Structure 1
Amino acid sequence: MTDSRQDLNTRQQALLAALDDCGDEMTGQQLHRSLASGPSVMGLATVYRNLRQLQQKGLIRCRHLPTGEAMYAPVERDRHHLTCVDCGETMALDHCPIHAMEVPVDARQGFDLLFHTLEFFGLCSACRERQASP
């Protein structure tokens, strides 16, 4: 366990464990429901507050769907997506196209980088065909 994970409170540990166990991304609502029947029950506002703190610690990443819904995953799960702006279908990329890139130190202007996100938006084939049909 890394030092940053050792410093987590019980709620943050529960959220991180749920994300680790999921194997995919989860919304705050899904996390809230997944913890509702166990020993780590917490209100929805508490879930979102702790997710924000985990993100600020660089332990989880957050990406937003075209609907505005936020999806959370541990930063170790370096996945990026193609997302349809019409139906919202999301397809994970096999690898990170920018993984080897580095932001030059002088361009960071004092920022400590925690994680990155990369999203591509477009139209899936089904939506493209539907929109082309009269």
Structure 2
Amino acid sequence: MEKEILKSVELKNTKKRQIILSILEKAHKPLTAEEIYAQTIGQTRMSFSTVYRSLGALTEKQILMKELMQDGKTYYQFNNNNHKHLLVCSICGEIIPIDDCPLHKLENDLVSKTGYIITGHSLEFNGICPKCTEKF
């Protein structure tokens, strides 16, 4: 799959880019560049700057989405042209994707009222996960 993705956007098909895409494909949540880099260790020799440059190229070609969250970190995930909603633990940083979209009605109302063509949105809830709550 990774080879086809890279070919479709005319990016050079390298083993390192394939590994990065594979890591993100298997992830069930958005990952930081640091988390992606940590997972490359043992698979191939790759510097953090290579990971960072690859993420930049993949984001520029709209294969990945990049989002700066309230914790000040930038997270990457596949761009499947859907909006994303997340639940984030303020203590441990656990991220849980929210599948249901509570904003469809609001989005339609905004389109009607403003004439905008809305191309996406993001929503981030912050709280404390059950594991961290038990520690208090």
The question of a shared fold, defined as TM-score above 0.5 by the shorter chain, is answered with yes
| Mapped contact 1:26–1:71 kept (Cα < 8 A) | yes
Q: Of the candidates 49, 73, 85, which is equivalent to residue 77 of structure 2? A: 73
Unmatched segments (≥5 aa) in structure 1: 127-134
**Which amino acid in the other structure matches residue 64 of structure 1?**
L
| Mapped contact 2:63–2:78 kept (Cα < 8 A) | yes
CA distance in structure 2 between the partners assigned to 1:117 and 1:24 by the alignment: 17
Counterpart of 2:47 in structure 1 is: 43
User: How far apart are 1:8 and its partner, in Å?
Assistant: 3.2
1:8 aligns with 2:11: yes
CA RMSD of aligned residues (A): 3.5
Question: Relative to structure 1, is the Cα distance of residues 76 and 65 closer, same or farther in structure 2, using a 3 angstrom cutoff?
Answer: same
TM-score, with structure 1 as normaliser: 0.64
Q: What does the per-residue CA deviation read over 1:13-69, in whole Å, with 9 as the maximum and x for residues that have no partner?
A: 221111112232211111111111113x21111211110111111111122221211
Counterpart of 2:123 in structure 1 is: 119
Unmatched segments (≥5 aa) in structure 2: 131-136
User: How far apart are 1:74 and its partner, in Å?
Assistant: 0.8
Counterpart of 1:30 in structure 2 is: 35
Aligned length: 118
The percentage of counterpart residues that share the same residue type is 23
Moved over 3 A (4+): 1-4, 86-91, 96-102, 120-126
TM-score, with structure 2 as normaliser: 0.63
CA distance in structure 2 between the partners assigned to 1:32 and 1:67 by the alignment: 19
Question: Relative to structure 1, is the Cα distance of residues 98 and 50 closer, same or farther in structure 2, using a 3 angstrom cutoff?
Answer: farther
CA distance in structure 1 between the partners assigned to 2:19 and 2:104 by the alignment: 29
